[in-house]
Amino acid sequence: MDDLTLSWIVLGLLIVLLLLRVPVAVALGGLSFCGIWMIVGPRSAWGILTTVPYDFISHWTLSSVPMFLLMGYVCFHSRLTDGLFRVTRSWLSWMPGGLAVASVGGAAGFSAVTGSSLACAAAMGRIAIPEMLKSNYDKGLAAGTVAVAGTIGSMIPPSILLLVFGIYAEVPISKLFIAGVVPGVLSAVLYSAMIILRVKLNPSLAPAAAEKVTWADRFGSFRGTWPVITLIIGVFGGLFGGIFTPTEAGGVGAFLAFVIGFAQRSLTLEKIKLALQETLVTTGAIFIIAIGAMLLTRFLALSGFTEFISEVVVEGQVSPLLLIVGTMAVLLFLGCFLDPIGIMLLTLPVFLPTVEHLHINLIWYGILMTKLLEIGLITPPVGLNVFVIKGIVGDTIPIEAIFKGVLWFLAVDLFCVVLLVAFPQISLFLPGLLG
């Protein structure tokens, strides 16, 4: 059996194992190691298995992953972001579906202090859904809005997905972060517009707000947002101002989150333990999957698969648009079954060499890929954000109603993807200003 045939067999078995619900890290690492063994023999295979994980884990930039995660979990458990929903509610409740729109705005704000969509959905769900249900909002609209709004956490910096993409693709993290700002805000605006339009057409989905909010209440609500504003200015002001690197920004953000939490007297020893535990578990999961992806990359290079795909692209004159459409189809399909980090690290070894060969801008491609992975967080049967919301609402809202609620937003997300493809400057304008 030649090496190229072996690579196709390994990729086929990988898909089968993933469909059988074998953990991504186990499937990636196990099959890649076996493939390397068959190509170069046991001695070299064991040598690669010992060097690849160390070479990856010793990458200094990776230290920002647990730091940004820790910042987000500290903010979540110490409830430093609760004031965001109060602000958006006081300013937006007059709109049709105002509480739902406020949930989107609050989620966008929370995204600036966490790189986790799941944490973002959980934080907003705990605050916003009870308020919407109390105001007799449609259950599907209430839960679906928060599930979808949570996905913004994957785009607006500090995004763990963008961070991992930048490390793997060797793209400047600061440019990727700033590139995610406009697409993230665009998503929030489109979600809000869809909510307003739906409620305009069917007012029974969201009764008009009964409470009267004064201007004093609106301006007074900003008092509760100082923790988030301090974090954003401290982390991103220093990052984009060139005071410290993206790697250092994670540490600064985690430190500020602890300081603010203690100053607010909302950070207890038990909450610190929870934040540290969740950070360790999430970081470990990301690193293990990433090591498996690095082994797959090494296997594909040794088997000649990467070179073969490049030759097919050249000889077949595959256009960049066709490759992008193929990328979209694969990511949307995998998003129905796998978690975003797993999908990204599973597909990058295959897609990235071809993307580079066609001279596609990697910053733009990273933003597009992240947006497509966001969609996977709400698509059935394994929409992770949907199940996070289900865990919050319990038996109050059936899982079917939540999935039905997010369907309206799927159309908006696909429209946003079309805009990102048709107008690359949506993603590239701000990075271009950095030079």
Question: Could you read off the pLDDT tens digit of each residue along the chain, which spans 435 residues?
Answer: 678 788 888 888 888 887 787 887 888 888 888 888 998 888 888 888 888 887 777 777 777 888 888 888 888 788 777 677 777 877 777 788 888 888 888 888 888 777 678 778 887 888 888 888 888 889 989 899 999 988 888 888 888 889 889 888 888 888 898 999 999 999 999 999 999 999 999 988 888 776 677 777 777 777 777 787 888 888 878 877 778 777 788 888 888 888 888 888 888 889 899 989 988 888 888 888 888 888 888 888 888 877 777 777 666 667 888 888 888 888 888 887 777 888 888 888 888 888 888 888 999 999 999 999 989 888 887 778 888 888 888 888 888 888 888 988 999 999 999 999 999 999 998 888 776
Instruction: Flag whether 298 is in a domain.
Output: no
How many Å apart are CA 350 and CA 370, to the nearest integer?
16
Instruction: Flag whether 324 is in a domain.
Output: yes
Number of domains into which the chain is organized = 1
pLDDT of residue 210: 65
Instruction: Flag whether 30 is in a domain.
Output: no
How many Å apart are CA 83 and CA 99, to the nearest integer?
14
pLDDT of residue 396: 86
Q: pTM of the prediction?
A: 0.84
Looking from the CA of 36 toward its CB, the CA atoms found within 13 Å total: 25
Range of the domain at 406: 62-291+305-434
What's the helix, strand, coil split of the chain in %, to 5?
Answer: 80, 0, 20
Instruction: Flag whether 106 is in a domain.
Output: yes
pLDDT of residue 319: 81
Amino acid at the residue 347: T
Instruction: Flag whether 42 is in a domain.
Output: no
Instruction: Flag whether 36 is in a domain.
Output: no
Instruction: Flag whether 10 is in a domain.
Output: no
pLDDT of residue 370: 93
Instruction: Flag whether 353 is in a domain.
Output: yes
Other C-beta atoms closer than 10 Å to the C-beta of 256 total 21
pLDDT of residue 126: 83
How many Å apart are CA 299 and CA 349, to the nearest integer?
10
